[in-house]
Structure 1
């Protein structure tokens, strides 16, 4: 019988397979455990984060608790101080009561003395009444004499004013007019809490027009004695004087534009003082008026355009060309309000102002629009005003945040002979006024020609050349100066206010340097003064219209504006000159 052999290889293979299965099971268990370990680590990290946040909140709660403890401690100390103040007030009240009793006793004694004095005064009054009757007869005679003297005074006053204006023009001084606006509803609104407990009414009228040349300011400030201060200007407008009256004094400057002079008219004053109303008339929804009042309420800019085209229509032979540019100076940057994008929409583009080799200010790439009527001119103005930056403040609900400069450039043909004759006449007049007194004092004869003779002039042959004169009218509506505390501005508007005040301060610095005849005039400290360099320090006829508020609330700002105007009057510039002839587009 054969012996069966045991198959060890088979057993071994079976055992190996069994062990491999156990290994795979262990490996799967290991992967499972590693996954669970990773999940546990994530949960542990979350718990650590929760514990960290809890610790942070605990620290905050501790800090809050400490602050509350400090607040309680300070409150307790304040209560102790209040109690001490109450005890002090009680003692002062007792002292006041004793003083009052003494005062009543003294008053009774003085009353008896006054009563006896009144009896004596009554007796004296009877005697004075007899003298008064005799004085009344003399008063009638004096009143008649005074009326006659007053009529003579008014005549002499008008003559003096005409002579003064002529002297101002010859000296080159800046003409300054002052306009006092009427009290408005917002003058009694938006009063700061710091002002509410004052005994002075902030809406009280303290600025008055004494006459057409004098402004009276009643300086009534808390802690200061009451005193009156006066300012003199070439013209002062009361609150009752209309836009028509104001433009009546501006109209001769438009005629000067056609006579060959550069002209600049600017309004200066605090926010809400009536600058934009004076220059443009009603332009916001709050200023809306009926069509019947539109002509009466128009400002200087639309009236100047109408007057310019009216004068040009009377003399069509001059072949005029009227071009307009409009810019605003916002945050010390210059923006062209007539520049258009590729679609033809006016968008306003930033420009720069430079100084030419001749020392004149110039704005490269500035847009000029040709206009042929006042309607076209005002259409450009209205479109530009829509781009002008405005923001409401506590002082004014529609405050302009930029300086607006409207420039009208007039090019016209003139008879050369008449132009030379007028220039020679002006030179002759200046020689008479400036040199004659010195020569008369020395016993010499004046060197100007006799009446009927003509001054010698160099022969000029321009018969075959174009005879043109180019003049410029600048109409400037300055942004208003502001007291930051009163206007209540913050953020972007606060930054705008800072730039506005700095540019106006730069304007004052330029005028100060001009009045003191300094060697360097800081025109480039501001884009505004750099742009207006030719008008402020050049030979243009410059009129500054001060706009001021009449109420007590804005007394400090009003005094600043009036002081600015007084300094501007002292500036002596070169005499206003007529523009030279343009030959083939160049100055000859």
Structure 2
């Protein structure tokens, strides 16, 4: 057998034997040549002797020739003797060479035999090792499979627990509250606070952190007081390391409920600079911000929700769902329509009023609803509204939002009771009839084909076969609560801060009144609570995302935010009501 690398000893010995045999043949050929020359010399000698015997005259000449021939014979004989001695030496060398070659071959065979046995032993050991390795691999696969089974069972049990928990929450009618803790930022360091060096910047120690995906730990470390650790429970808690996609993964099931006939409201609450706008929209540069679906990892809930809604609609029959968008801000306790246009078609913020319609629901007369065909058109409209949103810098946040932003998607569904959907021409005709070219709504004329500002109401057509229903998705980015001392505001910005804090306080009062089952709920104490009346105290599925800072500097504001979320969890509004959509459907 040949080793895996190098030249085998047997091959070397064979090459050496061949070389020796070639030398031997060369010597034998030389001997033959010399023997031939010797025979020729003997023949010449015999001829000379014959000629000497026949010639009897000229004895002196013959004597001379005889003497000459004797000398020649002696010279030839001496040469032959030398050649003979050379031949004998060559034969002895060949004999010795053969003996050496045989000894070398024997030694090579012995070494080859030993090498063969060593290789055989190594192969046997390798086979034993391979068998042991296969045994270990089988055991490892069994352990991996066992771990996978255990993980699957754990995930199933965890999912069952979440489903049961959500079912319990839905039966109780409570608001779903999630909490997101943002990372520490350079401006989080408070004066005189102990800081930790992290590469080339200083950051403060975290006092708010996620214990697990349902528990928040708050380290209440106040001067002159003992350290107290508080834990609070929410439906979901996101640590600073969790991504936008992780947050939206818990939001997306609500969007399925939206198409199943339920109103949905998603609201971000927290202090200024706690990450509300980042959670709802994504990163906000100082200059003009433009959404880009290509920057998917950083997109917030609003662009992701629009993309998911249109994806779900694309799976429905063509022409069965229509989407309209409104963008509203509540600034200094006034409602502004951010999609209203002037006579030149330029988008301007127009002040609107809030009314309560006959069904007891809040409505905004003349509010503009723009139809959209896909998420790109939706994001363009939202971008126009964001350019008009009021922002001012404070000591807490350089791009602080000074108003509450409410983006509403209204989904109108055309359902068929018996015969299925009509043809495309009927659908197009009904859509054109339902949505007129005017963007305003006249609430005094309910028969007007203009779009209504109460999207959740159910609309019956004149025919018996078709029904239309409206559900709405409200996406709310609340302005941040602020401590005047920390924000360092004055003048008009101070007045804005006062209105923001009062509206958020009114929101807390509403939740408290609902939680205590008071006969009167003060929705009209603020335009914000009046606008969101249907979502807070109505029949919508409400998801409240609490955004908090982990810094000791903002511990008071963080505790206030977490307390607000705890009160919100205690609100019992009854089970969310489904729009009367015909045909089977499934709620999420």
Report the TM-score, using the length of structure 1 for normalisation: 0.63
Q: In proportion to residue count, which structure has more helix?
A: 1
Residue 224 of structure 2 corresponds to 223
> What is the aligned partner in structure 2 of residue 496 from structure 1?
496
- Taking the aligned partners of 1:160 and 1:398, their CA distance within structure 2 comes to 41
For 1:472, the equivalent position in structure 2 comes to: 472
> Offset at 1:162?
1.7
The question of whether the paired residues in 1 share the 8 Å contact of 2:291 and 2:379 is answered with no
- How far off its partner does 1:577 sit? 1.1
Q: Which residue number corresponds to residue 415 of structure 2?
A: 414
Question: Equivalent residue for 1:530?
Answer: 530
Indicate if the aligned counterparts of 2:286 and 2:399 stay in contact, CA closer than 8 A. Answer: no
1:204-353 equivalent positions in 2, closer than 5 A: 204-285=205-286, 294-317=295-318, 319-353=320-354
Per the alignment, in what secondary structure is the counterpart of residue 357 of structure 1? coil
Q: Please state if 1:551 is matched with 2:533.
A: no
User: How do 1:513-524 and structure 2 match up within 5 A?
Assistant: 513-524=513-524
| Residues 283 and 298 in structure 2, CA contact (< 8 A), matched pair in contact too | yes
- Give 1:208 shift: 1.0
Q: Give CA-to-partner distance per residue, 1:61-94, whole Å, 9 cap, x none.
A: xxxxxxxxxxxxxxxxxxxxxxxxxxxxxxxxxx
Tell me how far 1:461 sits from its aligned partner: 13
1:386, CA displacement in angstroms? 0.6
Match of 1:403 in 2: 404
Please state whether the residue corresponding to 1:278 is helix, strand or coil. Answer: helix
Q: Is 1:382 the equivalent of 2:383?
A: yes
Q: What does 1:439-478 correspond to in 2, within 5 Å?
A: 464-478=464-478
Q: Determine if contact 1:172/1:539 at 8 Å carries over to the other structure.
A: no
Quick one: structure 1 residues 169 and 417, their matched pair in 2 at CA, closer, same or farther if it must change by over 3 Å? farther
Q: Where does structure 2 lack aligned partners over 5 or more consecutive residues?
A: 1-147, 197-202, 421-459, 583-588
**Alignment check: 8 A CA contact 1:394 1:488 kept:** yes
Please tell me whether the aligned partners of residues 272 and 395 of structure 1 are also in contact (alpha carbons under 8 angstroms). Answer: yes
Partner residue in 2 for 1:118 = none
What is the Cα deviation at residue 182 of structure 1?
0.7
Report if aligned partners of 2:261, 2:581 keep a CA contact under 8 Å in 1: no
CA distance in 1, matches of 2:414, 2:520: 37
SS at match of 1:210: strand
Partner Cα separation in structure 2 for residue 217 and residue 287 of structure 1: 37
SS of structure 2 residue aligned to 1:285: coil
Q: Deviations over 1:252-272 (max 9, x none)?
A: 111111000000000000000
Aligned length: 391
Residue 321 of structure 1: how far off its partner (Å): 1.2
C-alpha distance in structure 1 between counterparts of 2:225 and 2:557, whole Å: 17
Offset at residue 475 of structure 1 (A): 0.3
* Alignment CA distance shift 1:289-1:383 (3 Å): closer
Residues in 1 aligned to 2:575 and 2:419: alpha-carbon distance in whole angstroms: 21
Q: 1:292 to 1:252 in 2, by over 3 A?
A: closer
Distance (Å, rounded) in 2 between the aligned partners of 1:161 and 1:290 = 33
Q: 1:547 offset after TM fit, Å?
A: 0.5
| Equivalent-residue separation in structure 2 for 1:338 and 1:258 (angstroms) | 25
- Structure 1 residues 414 and 461 mapped into 2: Cα distance closer, same or farther (>3 Å)? closer
**Deviation of 1:283 (Å):** 2.3
Mark the CA change 1:535 to 1:292 in structure 2 (over 3 Å): closer, same or farther.
closer
Structure 2 residue matching 1:303: 3-state secondary structure: helix
Corresponding residue for 1:560?
A: 560
Q: How far, CA to CA, are the matches of 2:418 and 2:290 in structure 1?
A: 48
What is the CA–CA distance in structure 1 between the aligned matches of 2:227 and 2:195, rounded to whole Å? 12
Task: Quote the RMSD (CA, aligned, Å).
Answer: 2.8
Structure 1 residues 347-366: aligned runs within 5 Å: 347-366=348-367
TM-aligned CA deviation for residue 319 of structure 1: 1.8
Do structure 1's residue 370 and structure 2's residue 371 form an aligned pair? yes
Q: For the residues of structure 2 that align with 1:345 and 1:370, how far apart are their CA atoms?
A: 17
Separation in structure 1 between the aligned mates of residue 316 and residue 507 of structure 2, nearest angstrom: 38
Partner of 2:93: none
Counterpart CA distance in 2 for 1:512 and 1:577 is: 22
- Offset of 1:160 from its aligned partner? 2.4
SS at match of 2:378: helix
Contact 2:510 2:523 (C-alpha < 8 Å) held by counterparts: yes
1:308-341 CA distance string (max 9 Å, x none): 1111111134621111111100000000001111
Distance in 1 (alpha carbons) for counterparts of 2:275 and 2:374: 27
Q: CA distance change for structure 1 residues 577 and 183 in 2, over 3 Å: closer, same or farther?
A: same
Secondary structure of the 1:414 match is: strand
Alpha carbons 1:318, 1:414 under 8 Å: kept: no
TM-score, normalising length from structure 2? 0.63
Structure 1: unaligned runs, 5 residues or longer: 1-146, 420-459, 583-588
Is the partner of 1:574 in helix, strand or coil?
Answer: coil
Query: Where does residue 75 of structure 1 map in the other structure?
Result: none
Q: Is the 8 A contact 2:180 2:238 kept in 1?
A: yes
Compare CA radii of gyration and give the structure with the larger one.
2
Trace 1:418-433 onto structure 2 (pairs within 5 A): none
Partner in structure 2 of residue 573 of structure 1: 573
| Residue 150 of structure 1, CA deviation | 10
Q: 1:411 to 1:495 in 2, by over 3 A?
A: same
Distance 1:315 1:150 in 2: 35
Q: Distance in 2 between matches of 1:291 and 1:359?
A: 39
Distance 1:175 1:342, change over 3 A: same
Q: Is contact 1:209-1:238 (8 Å) kept?
A: yes
